Amino acid sequence: MSMAAGEYVSVQSWADTEAADLAVERQELESEPAHELEELAHIYVRRGLSPALAREVAEQLHAHDALGAHARDELGITEMLRARPLQAALASAAAFTAGAVLPIGSAVLAPVQHVAAVTSAVTLAGLLLSGAGGAAGWRADVARRAARRLLGALAMAASHAIGGLFNVAI
């Protein structure tokens, strides 16, 4: 829940930034339409269009949807990549819940005297397998992705060490 809430707050902050940027752009389009048209044409020249073609494209896009053109080409805001706080929170909740299955399951099923060792071993194995499996699925370097997952093991070790400093069982 805390990871989902944190994700929601973070992505909502980004959505607020996008909304503020769009409000500024909307005001600039109303107060300085000629300057905004030139700005858009200049963006297209930097992307490789000739100045004449860039101006024509900018004029046509301004006539069709000036704010949409500036949002996409000047600000980098597209419908597909727009901040979606609720979607991000739900995805984070699902990912962290799925990631908790192995550690919680092993803690519940392990003999009481071996919970810490079994949970640590199972979690480490899960990290390595998920890294390797994800790499294989994406045709990436399996060893590199699996090794990166070892950072999870270092985080576990650090948590254990910090808990030990404060005489708290982790």
pTM score: 0.67
The domain spans of the chain are 2-73, 110-165
What do you get for the CA distance between the two ends of the chain, in Å? 20
3-state DSSP call for residue 80?
A: coil
Q: How far apart are CA 49 and CA 55, in angstroms?
A: 9
Inter-residue contact 92 to 4 (CB < 8 Å): yes
Query: What's the chain's average pLDDT?
Result: 89
pLDDT at 46: 97
Q: DSSP letter at 83?
A: -
- Local structure of residue 82 (DSSP, 8 states): S
pLDDT, one tens digit for every residue, the chain (170 residues) = 888 999 999 999 999 999 999 999 999 999 999 999 999 999 999 999 999 999 999 999 999 999 999 999 999 999 888 899 999 999 999 988 988 999 999 999 999 999 988 998 898 888 777 777 766 667 777 777 777 777 777 887 888 889 888 887 65
- pLDDT over 70 for what percent of the chain? 96
- Judge whether 127 and 152 are in contact, CB under 8 Å: yes
pLDDT of res. 160: 80
Cα 43 to Cα 130: distance, rounded to the nearest angstrom: 42
SS3 47: coil
Nearest-angstrom CA–CA distance, 22 and 70: 9
CA angle 124, 130, 132 (to 5 degrees): 105
